[in-house]
Amino acid sequence: MDQPKWTCPQCSRVISPEDTVVLGQRRLSHLNCQRPRVLSAEERALLFTYCRDHRVACVTCSTSFYLSELAFDAVGNRAHLCPWCRRDLTDSVRAHLYGCAMLPAEVRRRAQASREAAQRLVKESHQLADAADVLMQEAEAARNALRETMREVAGKILRSTRQTEHKGWQIQPQSYKSDGARWCPKAFVRTAEGGILHTHIMPNRLFDTKQDADAYAVKIAKELIDKNGQALA
């Protein structure tokens, strides 16, 4: 006899362990019925925070693309498409996220635990009501622990990041490791009054240390403000 499975109440399709789900009162549903494996809100936030300058490979085209280069199909409601062959790279993007060395270890551990708890809940759908409730609670607890860890780590990063003020502008260095072990200079530039982000600087040079990369990014940002301060505002 077939074992009972979770069925999405919105689209009436069976939920797969690889699908992204929303936890409800004794029920599960797809986060996006048209794209069942879509990235969760937490996964998207982590990508934006730690991986927005990283590349993801397309095996069909034998090349890689920056996340910002991936295409979106509004008609077909598909995202993270290869800009050349239109292959859906969502799984590749997710694999990159969970293996990315830029994620703090605790954040990565919590993210993996949250996804595994949701997958376990879907796989063990045949459990009796009481056991299913326990699995649901575990999935919710894992998700909440991930969110709390993300907030704590973000706060630490914000407090530890140096800011330089120059002629009424705030310069925040955000250098990151490029392909390999060297550092690419990067800095956010925004007004000191409103805190509105206007641009970011990414000079095309690499440095051996983050300190040197940050210093160079701040230098270039100051030169940009000196020459084009009014135009940036």
Q: Are strands 197-201 and 78-81 parallel, antiparallel or unpaired?
A: unpaired
Distance in angstroms (rounded) separating the CA atoms of residues 140 and 27:
12
**Interval 192-221 mean pLDDT:** 74
Domain boundaries of the chain, sorted by first residue: 21-158, 164-232
Does residue 172 register a pLDDT over 60?
A: yes
CA 51/CA 54 separation, integer angstroms:
5
% residues pLDDT > 70 (the chain): 85
- Residue 1 confidence (pLDDT) above 50: no
The predicted structure's pLDDT at residue 16? 95
| 164-232, CATH topology level | Double Stranded RNA Binding Domain (3.30.160)
At 20, give phi and psi (nearest 5°). Answer: -95, 125
Q: What is the pLDDT of residue 142?
A: 97
> What is the Cα–Cα distance from 200 to 123, expressed in whole angstroms?
44
pTM, two decimal places? 0.70
92-139 tens-digit pLDDT: 999 999 999 888 899 999 999 999 999 999 998 767 667 888 899 999
3-state SS string for 128-158: CHHHHHHHHHHHHHHHHHHHHHHHHHHHHHH
**Residue 94: per-residue pLDDT:** 97
Q: In this structure, are strands 55-58 and 197-201 parallel, antiparallel, or unpaired?
A: unpaired
